[in-house]
Amino acid sequence: MKKLALPALLLLAPLLASCAAGGSPGAAASSAPPPAEHAAGEVHWSYDGEEGPAEWGHLAKDFAECEAGDAQSPIDLPDHAETKLSEHPKISSSPTVGESVDTGHTIQLVPDGDASEIEWKDNEFDLAQVHFHMPSEHTVEGKALDAEFHFVHTTEDGQVLVLGVLAQQGDENDAWQPFIDGAAEPGSDELPIDVTAMLPTDPTFEEYAGSLTTPPCTEGVDWVVYHEPIELSAEQIAVLKQTYDNNARPIQPQGDREAYEGTITVSQD
């Protein structure tokens, strides 16, 4: 697997998240990059009020797709999609370490080395970063979960596949504790990343064609959302909530798009 630079569209909105008016963002470390809105030519966007999701398409010319697009994310997913995929993606991972970053919209964990690679549709997607939303952006049969994590994977030519993992309150999750620690102290480095351990054990997923969930809302993103949620303890969820507790874009019209169900093969190098 090759280490890839983050494509321009992800630099513009690397976390698919924003600093919600009702949230309590953690203090950004001095090593963290400027908030995502600075990368968008000083255009500020939020999840509430005059700069909230309903207005994103009017804030900048580059954000027009947020309103005009017809394949936007997130959407409400079925419990199980009726149409089954005949082709199955393969994900391979290698334990590595990374740094946590508070961008002003969410906390992301950026791997220092090769963390995971997804082979699908004649492409190889490499993990660029992992971030979270609270509550979940995707809903299942109209129900939102406590949180949602996005494993953003990219190709060398800038194609994007996002592996979505829903989360609900339950038992403490040791595999996710490094992410939680990084959220508590943004700027922390050498945080262990073990993608295989962080994913649900059930390989079933729902797949559909969508977009980035923050400005510029670029379409052409392949979404693969695990059916089974992971569990986090109440204490782990509380740490995330102390950073950003309302950074989820509302559900978007599905239109004539169809969700498909498949299974993913996971292996560790």
Give the pLDDT of residue 209: 98
Topology, domain 8-268: Carbonic Anhydrase II (3.10.200)
Distance CA(137)–CA(211), nearest Å, equals 12
Contact, 116 vs 153, CB < 8 A? yes
Nearest of 161, 193, 166, 174 to residue 268 by alpha carbon: 193
Please tell me the predicted confidence (pLDDT) of residue 105.
86
pLDDT in tens, the chain (269 residues): 443 433 334 433 443 333 222 332 333 322 333 333 334 456 899 999 999 999 999 999 999 999 999 999 999 999 999 999 999 999 999 999 999 999 888 999 999 989 999 999 999 999 999 999 999 999 999 999 999 999 999 999 999 999 999 999 999 999 999 999 999 999 999 999 999 999 999 999 999 999 999 999 999 999 999 999 999 999 999 999 999 999 999 999 999 999 999 999 999 98
Closest CA to 120 of 151, 84, 92, 96: 92
55 and 61 in contact (C-beta within 8 Å)? Answer: no
What's residue 76's pLDDT?
Answer: 98
Nearest to 244 by CA among 133, 103, 129: 133
pLDDT for residue 103 = 86
Q: What's the rounded Cα separation, in Å, for the pair 267 and 93? A: 6
What Å distances lie between residue 137 and 34, 149, 179, CA to CA? 24, 9, 19
Cβ distance 264 to 203 under 8 Å? yes
Predicted local confidence at residue 41, as pLDDT: 52
Element (H, E) at 38: helix 36-39
